[in-house]
Structure 1
Amino acid sequence: MFVLMYLTLTKRKRFVALASATIDAAERLLAPYKINFEKNPRLRQFYGKQEVLGMWTDREFSCACGAKFIALGAGSSPRGMRNEAIRPDIIYFDDYDTDEDCRNPVTLDKKWQWAEQALYPTRSISEPTLVLWCGNIIAKDCCITRAGKLANNWDIVNIRDKHGRSAWPQKNTEEQIDRILAKISVRAQQGEYFNNPIAEG
């Protein structure tokens, strides 16, 4: 999160389009950015007050640094989005896939088509665009795996690394991981914490 904020506050990027499965989910994911711009004293100290009156809503806001943030649900109309002359230069998909969508190939194809044919083309051809996908691999075929196959770089981070140790020991101790995993099936563990969805049957 703070990397994207840094890129906008330092004017390296000017327009963040955050897409999620629904508009409500996208607004929830955009909320921490808005709250930090409003209330983080360190950000205010270094970069000044960022709220711009009249352009500060839960779904879309513009900052004094010149950056714009917008939340989009899958299927909404992104065409024509601009921040003055700037097209989205960060396109960020977060928790875009849902279990329900991945069980229906027609729905999954529609969501992928929206990402690929509606949102992605809002970017500028002549300017570099950062495209990020964050979320779990919840099915063998899902939007995040389709995007991963096209990505220049794809990092898959599990709760435990290849040596079986916590991938983030400062946050998740072995005891905490063991306690959580003991309460759910192997199928649920693999799908949620190891990016290895296991199909029923």
Structure 2
Amino acid sequence: MTKTELKDAKERYFQQSKVIQLLSYQSLFKESSQEQEDRIKRLLKPENYLEFFEYYYGVNSGLALADAPCAKFHLDSYLKVFKNPLIKQQRRWFRGAAKSIHTNVGNLSHLKQNNEVNFGLIIGRTEGHSKLLLSDLQLHLESNERFIKDFGMQMQYGSWADGQFETNDKKFFMALGLNQPFRGLRNNADRPDWASMDDLEDRKQAKNIELTKENVQKLTGDLGKAGQKGRFRQIMCNNYIVKDGIVEGYAEKYKGSKNLDISTVNLCDKDFNPSWPERYTKQECIDIVNDTDYHTSQREDFNNPVEEGKRIKAEWIHYKKTHGNQIHNGL
């Protein structure tokens, strides 16, 4: 991220912060201390995660963070994350499934308030990308009046623009790019106990076999061994867009682990029934598919990483022995 890009990002953050503060303040309502306490207790239960998200970030919160109610798969995936402190979950969700906002804001803030994270790490494809992802979290911890009313002022020091910040309850959050070192990460006595790997896949880079191997090894080795003893949730948010890439390599490395969970959610089924009916209608799914070329739609909407000109299946190829007395100049 250049100085100009960072300056522009800071200005956007400042403007968004004012909007969120205003809208969330206007959405506050009167309630007794006991009513507030009971509501918070209810919202922090993992089975009520969707209600938590809707209250602080959803369509009824006065904010523009979400444009539709949450889907069942948002809850199902998070329940697995909450219940297993050593989970390695791949969220192979279609483009437009709210992977990043649930993972880096909704899930992370719910875990934070349940004291289930001390050192949250957000990893993007580049350092600049990771900082922007971290800014989404800070934006709401710092400016969301609903969140502040229930949990108090959050920010202590640091900033997303510097790549790290700490909250008043001593929770530490850091942003790193895939090309930055993961070894030796520590904040006082705390090592990372949460890592989100957000949109790391790149179809062009996946053609570089050695680089892909290095990246997978870095995520499973350097990062995988950098976590806190007994608790290190690792979430990879990336739909399955390319063969032999990071997503596939990561799953292959951990295929023998009982903690690996692959959550695959496509835009719709073969009859165009949407996986997220709260946001998409059947007709909208039809329109999305028909308005996109076949190969792009298969990759982005259906987790089927086909490439144009590479659709010959192995079972279509037939083999036979050649006659020993024949000489071929070419094939």
Q: Residues 31 and 161 (structure 1 numbering): CA distance in 2 closer, same or farther, change over 3 Å?
A: farther
Could you tell me which runs of 5 or more consecutive residues in structure 2 were left unpaired when the two chains were aligned: 1-104, 310-331
Q: Give the Cα–Cα distance (whole angstroms) in 1 for the partners of residues 306 and 113 of structure 2.
A: 42
Say yes or no: does 1:77 pair with 2:185: no
How far does the alpha carbon of each residue in 1:134-165 deviate from its partner, in whole angstroms, 9 at most, with x for none? 11111121212233342521111111146641
For 1:70-149, what aligned pairs fall within 5 Å after superposition?
A: 70-124=174-228, 126-149=229-252
Q: Which of 16, 19, 25 in structure 1 is aligned with 2:129?
A: 25
Q: What is the match of residue 15 of structure 1?
A: 119
* Structure 2 letter corresponding to 1:157: V
Query: Which position in structure 1 is the counterpart of 2:76?
Result: none
* Number of the residue aligned with 2:261: 153
Instruction: Write the distance in 1 (CA, Å) between the matches of 2:279 and 2:176.
Output: 30
SS in 2 for 1:72: strand
Question: Aligned with 1:155: secondary structure?
Answer: strand
For the 8 Å contact 2:117–2:171, the answer to whether it is kept is yes
Q: TM-score, normalised by structure 2?
A: 0.57
Structure-2 separation of matches of 1:28 and 1:157: 25
Partner residue of 2:274?
166
The one-letter code of the counterpart of 1:12 is: E
Deviation, structure 1 residue 177 = 2.3
Cα deviation code 1:29-82 (max 9, x no counterpart): 2221111111111210111111113x2233211111221111111120122221
CA contact (8 A) 1:67 1:83 kept: no
2:154 pairs with 1:50: yes
Determine which structure has the larger helix proportion and give its number: 2
User: Which stretches in structure 1 are left out of the alignment for 5+ residues?
Assistant: none
Question: Separation in 2 of the partners of 1:25 and 1:162?
Answer: 34
| C-alpha separation in 2, matches of 1:168 and 1:191 | 18
| Residues 8-40 of structure 1, C-alpha deviations (whole Å, 9 max, x = no match) | 123211111111211122122222111111111
Match of 1:194 in 2: 302
User: Which deviates more from structure 2 when the two are superposed, residues 33-42 or residues 139-148?
Assistant: 139-148
Which one has the largest radius of gyration? 2
Task: Check 1:163–1:183 CA distance in 2 against 1; reply closer, same or farther (3 A cut).
Answer: closer
Equivalent-residue separation in structure 2 for 1:71 and 1:56 (angstroms):
10
Structure 1 counterpart of 2:302, which letter?
F
Percent of aligned pairs with the same residue? 25
Aligned residues: 199
For 2:115, the aligned partner's letter is: K
Counterpart pick for 2:170 among 61, 66, 86: 66
Aligned structure 1 segments of 4 or more residues deviating by more than 3 angstroms: 161-164
Q: 2: distance between equivalents of 1:191 and 1:174?
A: 19
TM-score (norm 1): 0.91
Name the CA shift for 1:123/1:199 in 2 (closer, same or farther; >3 Å): same
